[in-house]
Amino acid sequence: MKTIIVTGGAGFIGSHLVDAYIEREWRVVVIDNLSTGDQRNVNPRAELRVADLRDPAALAIVDEVKPDVISHQAAQVDVRKSVADPGEDAEINIVASLRLLQKAHDARVKRFIFASSGGAIYGEPAFAPQTEEHPLQPMSPYGCAKLAVEHYMNYFREVQGLATVAMRYANVYGPRQSSRGEAGVIAIFADRMLRKLDVTINGDGGQTRDFVYVGDVVAANMATTEHMELTGAFNVGTGVETSINDLYRAMAHLTGTTAPANHAPAKAGEQIRSVLDGSKLRKTAGLGRPRLLSDALQPTIDYFR
């Protein structure tokens, strides 16, 4: 039986990955400090270890478990928090990740998969959709941290021989996503619309995002797990831009919301456009086309309902 450690496995994306590995008969060990994750998300067949990756005791779990693969999904994901305190963001997203990489190398882990961010590391598009060759110009400390970890991964792959893969996610949505805080505009809209509360859009709503369903993110992760020859960075997105105004209209229709959205000032430093070309991984791994937003919005709203 193969063994994987999923950091952040009590969270939104991580818990879906845990389910997928369990379905494939892997032994799954979850490391999560439950600061944002929810223990109820964790598959009962997985082993949950409540620990913070900044604590050396968390790294000792790697020595104990001796995993074949580490899937590093844990992170500080709030861009606004990274702007307010770049140092703390770096401690969580860079230093803890680097120590985990070193531990993976020392423990002879066969594969290290990392949750990166296509939206955050590319910056405003020089061309769209953005391919993996797009210039890397992050506009937030969060994006800088993700890119820094990718550079460390390149070092461990090219110099130390650790097979590393960076998954550059677009804007992921789906069941189990938190409606609290900055992350997950679809989750936030769904929660407020279903509770008949006002919805606020920052800026004029013309900003666009590439919304990718969590099931397609899981499929991409499974592909990079099963195809051991795949290393480097891969976009995980749909290549389709959706404005926040169009998203609001679509969700208002599905929830029966008739009130218009409120508008607040745009957030400083927010990107105007973000859209990823995910065809490289799909072609290489033989993946199908990702689900359209129009097809996956309803089951997502049903979850929040």
Provide the annotated active-site residues. 142
Spatial distance between the Cα atoms of 42 and 22, rounded to a whole number of angstroms: 11
Cα gap 141→215, rounded to integer Å: 28
The partner residues of 111 in beta bridges, in order of sequence, read: 69, 163
Structure tokens at 208: 């666009």
Q: What is the C-alpha to C-alpha distance for residues 221 and 229, in angstroms, rounded to an integer?
A: 14
Q: Is 166 in a helix, a strand, or coil?
A: strand
How distant, in Å, are the alpha carbons of 39, 169, 251, 261, 262 from that of 34?
7, 22, 30, 33, 33
Rounded CA separation 291/214 (Å): 10
Q: Is the peptide bond before 141 cis (omega within 30 degrees of 0)?
A: no
Q: Residue-wise over 29-55: b if at least 16 C-beta within 10 A, else e?
A: bbbbbeebbeeebbbeebbbbebebee
Count of CB atoms situated within 10 Å of the CB of 295: 10
